[in-house]
Structure 1
Amino acid sequence: MAERRTRTTAARATAIAEQLHHESCILLELYRKKEKFTVEDLVADRRLVSVPPPSSQLDTGDTLWRLHSALLQCRSLLERAIAKEEQELGGGKKGDYETMRKMVRDRLSLLLINTELLRAVDGAAVFTPNLDGLELEGPSSLFELKLWIYRIFKEVEHWSKTAITTLQGLPPVMDKERARGARLRSMRSARR
């Protein structure tokens, strides 16, 4: 039962990640058109999201923690970017860009819920990554702000693509020990 639930949750999370990746690509294109960026304007200097590098030595729980941590940072950055954009650039009329931006934010939150469920089924301890040092304030000039927002959208696109690969690479079933541990935790929770 736990194995089937894990496969179902992983499949659902992968489908959500695929949809998020598709929508984030559309959002990037809408934003480029809206701000009339040229290729020269969009040179990214470094990643905004910071997690340990991928490794074949990581177990499933660590791999899911790494992914969940990156997605959590993306959501924090995205929420800050949306607030800063509305504050500095005004809400304006609501169109395709604003609709897609909301869809991306909502889909990212849904993916976070599903990766948390996978981590719980896998037996990983619930752990909220430290977001200290995450670039939340953003730049001060208008052009820098627009580039910062673009970089955040680019991070969401990058990590949604990484999520697809990570989720598809998960082992198809948990080993018996982890499945037994998940059942025991489930039974203990039901007794409370």
Structure 2
Amino acid sequence: MADRLTRDRNGSDLSRTTVARAAAIAEQLHHECSILLELYKTQESLTEDITIADSRLVSIPSPSSQSDTKDKLWCLHSALLQCRSLLERAIAREEQDLGSENRGEYETQKKMVKERLSLLLINTGELLKAVDGMAVLTPNSEGLELDGPNLFDLKIWVYRIFKEVDYWTKMAITTLQDLPSVIVKERVRTTRVRSTRSTRR
């Protein structure tokens, strides 16, 4: 599994470059999410003491510290796919029920977050295919829609989605920054296994 990421020196350099690029994109996305959240709170007059549900909107189990590289990337990529699906639904509902006039800076920031999230998905998808050698699945979006809310509920729902993107972006930073050391360890283990097999022959 890890061999596809680190099968030779050039392959290892390429994988490290891809990981570093994905981590940099995640850090930039996190910054842009923070700006988006502040713009949205100001625009919709949401005060700091407003009560937001703590439950996650994305239903992907977080990888444990014992999970291998493929599992960690699978969890992360699947969560980000759901985040993009949620974000697209939020944007559509906003345009339908809240309108988009006089929202220049906010609309620009929201578009930037969406595009950066898509770019992060491309990069994590490349890493996942490198370790798994197969296309990633489409996430289950069941139950992600908000049916018939009043205007305030809709505003809170959109805010929760932005918070969810922000949360999983932070998870992406942590996961991606941990990958290089994981890759190195798995490369050493793979090399030892090959050496053992060669000796036996």
TM-score normalised per structure 2: 0.83
User: Are 1:41 and 2:53 matched, yes or no?
Assistant: no
Residues 21 and 109 of structure 1, relative CA distance in 2, 3 Å threshold: same
**Preserved contact between residue 123 and residue 178 of structure 1 (Cα < 8 Å):** no
Residues 178 and 68 of structure 1, relative CA distance in 2, 3 Å threshold: farther
Residues 139 and 176 of structure 1, relative CA distance in 2, 3 Å threshold: farther
Residues in 1 aligned to 2:141 and 2:117: alpha-carbon distance in whole angstroms: 21
Residues 103 and 146 of structure 1, relative CA distance in 2, 3 Å threshold: same
Structure with higher Rg: it is 2
Provide Cα deviations, 1:104-157, integer angstroms capped at 9, x if missing partner.
000000000000011112235322143142412455210000000000000011
TM-score normalised per structure 1: 0.86
* Paired-residue identity, %: 56
Q: CA RMSD of the aligned region, Å? A: 1.9
Larger mean CA deviation between 169-178 and 108-117 belongs to: 169-178
User: Are 1:149 and 2:158 matched, yes or no?
Assistant: yes
Residues 178 and 129 of structure 1, relative CA distance in 2, 3 Å threshold: farther
Residues 134 and 177 of structure 1, relative CA distance in 2, 3 Å threshold: farther
Residues in 2 aligned to 1:93 and 1:43: alpha-carbon distance in whole angstroms: 26
**Preserved contact between residue 138 and residue 145 of structure 1 (Cα < 8 Å):** no
User: Are 1:57 and 2:69 matched, yes or no?
Assistant: no
Residue 160 of structure 2 aligns to a residue in which SS?
A: helix
